[in-house]
Amino acid sequence: MEQSEEPLKSELILNELKKRQRTKDVVDVEEERVKVIFFTCGENRYAFYGTDIREILPASDISWVPGLPDYLPGLINVRGDIESVIDLRYFLGEEKGDHLKHLIAMAVRGDFHSGVMIDSIEDVIDIPVSAIGPPLATLNGAARDLVIGAIEYDAKTIPLLGVGKLANLITI
């Protein structure tokens, strides 16, 4: 009995699979990620870029200064530096709360340094840059002036607030 020189069908399939495996392009692209801080202020959840927040301070006494606008409840002492405190609720259209129960997020953006009153920190995570979408077109009210994007988090769309936009509102 003569053996055929033609390869078996199973060998042909294996060779084709090996050929495909060798020609397959492997692309491993590490997408840029950014740190985001999710927090509550009033009845809603918001986020800041982590690079804009230097630290989170516990609730502390805010020294009232006569003649300050409504959005500035006063000043605090942070390790010898006197910093202003901004009531974020004023710009977000939220009801005023007790100043002694708020955390203070120390915001830094260029020459802008100030404490920002928030209610609580929910999470700090790294997310892909592509996960940040444009601000919601349906967003209305005072928050619209601060929002720079939107993030899907915990099955909800969370507005991403810009510290730079907050600084522009304060310095106008």
Cβ-in-10-Å burial (0-12, 13-18, 19+) of 125 comes to middle
Q: Is residue 94 part of a domain?
A: yes
**Domain that includes residue 163, residue range:** 33-171
More confident residue, 142 or 25: 142
pLDDT at 25 over 90: no
Mean pLDDT of 59-78: 90
Could you give the count of Cα atoms lying within 13 Å of 99 in the half-sphere of its Cβ? 18
Q: Is residue 83 part of a domain?
A: yes
Q: Is residue 52 part of a domain?
A: yes
Q: Is residue 22 part of a domain?
A: no
Query: Could you tell me the CATH number of the domain that includes residue 116?
Result: 2.40.50.180
Q: What is the pLDDT of residues 96-120, one digit of tens each?
A: 766 667 899 999 998 999 999 999 9
Q: Is residue 44 part of a domain?
A: yes
What does pTM read for this prediction?
Answer: 0.77
Q: What is the C-alpha to C-alpha distance for residues 47 and 149, in angstroms, rounded to an integer?
A: 9
pLDDT at residue 128, rounded to an integer = 93
Q: Is residue 14 part of a domain?
A: no
Number of domains in the chain: 1
Q: If you search the block for the tokens 């982590």, which residue do you land on?
A: 50
pLDDT, the chain, mean: 86
